[in-house]
Structure 1
Amino acid sequence: MKIFNSTQTFDYPWDHVSAANWQKYPNEVSTHVVAVDVLRREFDPESQKLVTERLITCKQPIPSWLSFIVGGDNKSFIREISTVDRLTKTVVMRSCNMTMCKLLKVYETVTYTQDPLDLNKTKFEQTAEITAYASLRRLCDRIEDWSVERFGQNASKGKQGFDSVLKHLDEQWNGLASKTTSLLGEVNDKTTEVLKEVNEKTSVVLKEVNEKTNVVLKEVNEKTSIVLKEVNELASEIWKEGN
């Protein structure tokens, strides 16, 4: 058995990386991945974990000596089960090959975790256990060595491809954030303008109401004075007649 290890750092926060992970393929660098199909997806609201099962189809040339053993088909299938933990900010992806599994077994584990020293970065760790099953030890070693070499090549391409995907999505997110800020600014300006117009119209209306109220009160006071005068005169006449 041979072991392949790879560690990398992405200069993006975990939230961005974990979201972009679902759009990692296809990309212009990792052309060996030709299809990704979701077979099952479950979310547990209590644990805040998302479990996804996918079938990954790869198409990559294989050496002629290996093609002679397994046949001429260069298409392979991989079963992957991933768990996204929002509470611990961790993505764990475990996969195993379904093609050539009687000759070669590959168990791969990929982990994305938030960098504890820099929250704007994400740590990537990849481990693959590669075991060949053949009657000749020399043939097993050759198959395992080839698999490790291929993992190294694909890991390098995968980093470049994912970086391009992250950059593209980051530009989209920044563009959306910029448009949102601009839109909120326009809404704020419009709201301020409308409130100003409302205040001006309210002031005009209140002024008109005040003026009309003063006129009405003046008329009421004048009529009240007349009525009181007439009442007083009538009261005086009644008092004189009584005396």
Structure 2
Amino acid sequence: MTATAPTWISAFLDLAHPDYERGVVFWGLVTGYRVSSPRGEQQEFATLVPRDGDDFLRVQRLGDGRSRIHLDLHVPDPAAAAAAAQELGATVTTESEHGYVVLASPGGLVFCFVGHHGAVRPRPQSWRGGHRSLVDQVCLDIPRDIHDAETAFWQALLGWEPAASSVSADFSVLQRPEGQPFRFLLQRLGEGQGRVRAHLDLATDDRTAEVARHVALGARVRREHPRWTVLADATGSAYCITDRDPETGSLPVGPGH
């Protein structure tokens, strides 16, 4: 295992100050997870605590700027991992006295190396009517001109095996090791320039029911695709609900698929 290979990954919903309260409530209801007590010097952090397994979704109230996603990569030695990541093209922006290191990928996506760990991936949540869902994928939205370099960076940083997508030539996948909470999907955008962004995806075994549940909680449908639906959450940020199996992360196979 390389210095940068994470033992666990958490995703942070970084919420703009005006979006924080409704964003936290929305994602707590969408996931079915309990929102922890706030922490931090400004009470700006909280965790979405699953009913089983270890947490992997957290929220942060931003002092300024727009809502976004950033990633925490859990490693044994954050300082050593940051040094190795710089060799791959990352930029260190903050070395905290609390032991974590904040970096940006070559395309500008914020991520951190942290020292605390998780080990047990939560099970999918079951909903009224019997269907299940789970937040299980981070999609990196990468402008066309930097797609290849950014994809190579994340493959080297994580040390995960790449795979082609069966859905689109503009998608590729980094295979999730057993026990990790997130898959990585890398999307080539039509725009040529810009910064890399990220959004979250859910897997479900009944997309129609899951979309209806989200809309009832305040989401808005933006676009329908054959395998996924793009929504805006209660703060206006995009995310997707997909047809992938919430246990395995794979698309179903067989008649009709």
TM-score by shorter chain over 0.5: no
**TM-score normalised according to structure 2 size:** 0.24
Q: Which has the higher strand share?
A: 2
**TM-score normalised according to structure 1 size:** 0.25
Which of the two has higher C-alpha Rg? 1
